[in-house]
Amino acid sequence: MTPFFSVVVTVYNKSHFVEKTISSILNQSFSDFELIIIDDGSTDNSVEVLNRIKDKRISIYPTKNQGVSAARNLGLTKAESEYVALSDGDDIWLENHLEELKRLIMDFPDCGIYATAYEKHFFENYITKPKFQHVDHPFFGIVDDYFKSSMIDSILWTSAVAIPKTIIDKGYCFDESLGWGEDNDLWIRIANDFKVAFSSTPTANKMVHTKDNHLSLTKDIPNLIMMIDKHKDAETQNPSLKAYLDVNRFMIAMEAKLRNDYYNFKKVSADIKPEHLNSKLKILLWLPPGVLRGLKRLKFFLLKKRLYISPFR
């Protein structure tokens, strides 16, 4: 009999974390699922750790390294169930995660994606909660406007969503040409075309495993620009999407300036409507790189002191 969920986990060099991740999945209160694990060519002993875990629901597929999008898409093709829940190999589910997703599916069966709230765990012991706009707490239902609600923190996060297989079969999968931002790209496409169901009950933990500055720069600014540019036509038809993309453009512009990459800074910032940025973001947009680097170091210092500050709030 086909299980209710196919759970797809992608792993790349997560040997120190993946056992906890898999344990959190196997210990779900709702147990009717298959667990598909794609190892994306790990060079550590991740596969060895995975092979030690014994559960009849688990299938492991080692592959050569092709990137997270290809690994996730391979998992999607292996899925047998009508709903696919995703997790990265170093995040943690609370025991009610799949149960809460199933409740959403049962109550709102015609949505393009289902999501629960999550918490961010820094340095393993400092916890912050994302902030969603125009969504009351508690909330259990269909989000009126995904893009408006995700202007500060995104409602959709990879390790806390489930996608109907019918949506995946329509071509809504991860863009393998994108090296960065592939998850955000998929959420944009689904949320622009389908309804988003959301529960404000936190059922997953986003684990930020780092001893250094987790605020480090992305590796490929042009790739992120390519992701944003994919939606230029759609944003002309959806003002909320335009505002959401402008906030994303702001983040890319900031990283370009920090690298002294003024070509991409000017290219991206030229497309931003000023009214889509709050006053703090407007000020940051025009500060010199040296000041921005100092503020970045200050933010990381305060974070280690358990004080989370964001210009988006």
Domain boundary, last residue among 142, 173, 208: 208
* 78 vs 70: CA distance, rounded Å: 12
> What are the helix (H) ranges across 154-230?
165-169, 182-193, 221-229
The CATH number assigned to the domain holding 170 equals 3.90.550.10
Residue 179 lies in a domain: yes
Kindly state whether residues 20 and 154 are assigned to the same domain: yes
Confidence of residue 163 (pLDDT cuts 50, 70, 90): very high
The reply to whether 179 and 233 lie within a common domain is no
pTM listed for this prediction: 0.94
E strands in the chain: 5-11, 33-40, 58-63, 83-88, 92-93, 113-122, 126-128, 140-142, 161-164, 196-208
Residues 67, 173: one domain?
yes
Same domain, 199 and 257: no
Residues 218-242: what's their mean pLDDT?
91
- How does residue 301 score in pLDDT terms, banded at 50, 70 and 90? confident
- The pLDDT of residue 244: 98
- 3-state DSSP helix/strand/coil % of the chain, to nearest 5: 40, 20, 40
The answer to whether residues 161 and 249 belong to one domain is no
Please check whether residue 313 lies inside any domain of the structure: no
Residues 37-43 have a mean pLDDT of 96
Question: Which residue range(s) make up the domain with 233?
Answer: 221-304
Which range among 86-100, 202-216, 219-233, 277-291 shows the weakest confidence by mean pLDDT?
Answer: 202-216
